[in-house]
Amino acid sequence: MSSDEPLEIDGSTLEGGGQLLRIAVGLSALLSKPITINNIRAKRNPPGLKFQHAAGLRLVADICSARLEGNTTGSRTITLHPQVAPQASLAYTADPGTAGSIALLLQVSLPCLIFSSSSTSPSSLTLRGGTNASHSPQIDYTQNVFLPFIQKHFGLEPTLQVVKRGYYPRGGGQVHVSIPPVAGPLPSVTLTDRGEIKRVYGKSYVAGLPKSLADAMRTAAIDTLVESGIKENRIKIESLREKPSDAVGSGSGIVLWAETYEGCILGGSALGRKGTDAAHVGREAARELASNLDHGGCVDEYMQDQMIIFLALAQGKSRVKTGPLTLHTRTVIWVVEQLSAAKFRLEEAEGGAVVECDGIGYVPPVPPAPPTHVPGETSIST
């Protein structure tokens, strides 16, 4: 296959959903490798691109000046031809026009922007859509678990500001992200000792609904965490009602995160649903966090797959202890190995695994130097 011929990726492989698409497109842009993805979201109903996926593809194409084919809602095949590596830091915007997940728009674009060709100025992202959407990380998870994780372990320092909350079905949320670029490769990570729990934090929220629902979620979450063995004096969960000016639509939910003495951060969350008791939602989030703590791994089930691309781009050998490997994680590993020279080894045992990766030590290409004027030469314009 020539360097100009797209690598074909079967979008129905393993998990067969949107994350395969996001990781493949992000790596394609970063490594300047053209790809064609067929059978997009083949294991979802309905299959094909949704507005959110199309918005993420347009964003990545903008970042790397790509030629993008097939990017229409419902499409099951796209081709991306990156023309250049991610460019000097600029301001970018993405808006699916729906309540599609803002967190997933960040997921597809972040790896590209941390390696933009500027070594000084941060890139700016304005992302619109749903801040707290189903089947995706809540923006509070991104803000309090994912971003602190990549800052602590990879030295990355994106900052995120929630300007306005947006809930299903209207969307209308807005988030600003500032992403300073890095000049060299990311460091490898060794994270195999979770350590004892230092503190559990959380946010129980409602918008356009009575605050008593947030209080009920908070109380139920605390009771459930205490039942799981966490001391109550180590639990600090905020309960709040969003101001009408700070949110579009109505919604509710709770996000929890545990910090350990060894620097691990693990989360658990749940969204409120019509007809579902608020206390049940609080217990659901607490049980998810307790489950992520019970396996003794250093990352939760959501960080498990989100960290893979960063391990692949890092320099040297990384080792991270996880809980049982998810299908999402296996899918991301498969995609990364199709598009890069990164190599993964999985040491699986009952109740957990160790993910080992030989990273590629990616560094952004050096932008061409501007032409210099040689003394004595005359410049003639025509």
Amino acid letter, residue 69:
E
Contacts of 377 (CB under 8 A, 6+ apart): none
Dihedral (Cα; 214, 215, 216, 220), 10-degree rounding: 110
Q: Both tokens of residue 378?
A: 């005359």
User: Using CA atoms, how far apart are residues 246 and 165, in angstroms rounded to an integer?
Assistant: 6
- Residue 211 backbone dihedrals phi, psi, to 5 degrees: -65, -25
333 sits in which H/E element: helix 327-339
Whether 156 contacts 125, CB under 8 Å: no
**176 in active site:** no
Contacts of 206 (CB under 8 A, 6+ apart): 213, 214, 240, 241, 242, 250, 251, 252, 272
Catalytic, out of 53, 81, 153, 328: 328
Catalytically active residues, by annotation: 328
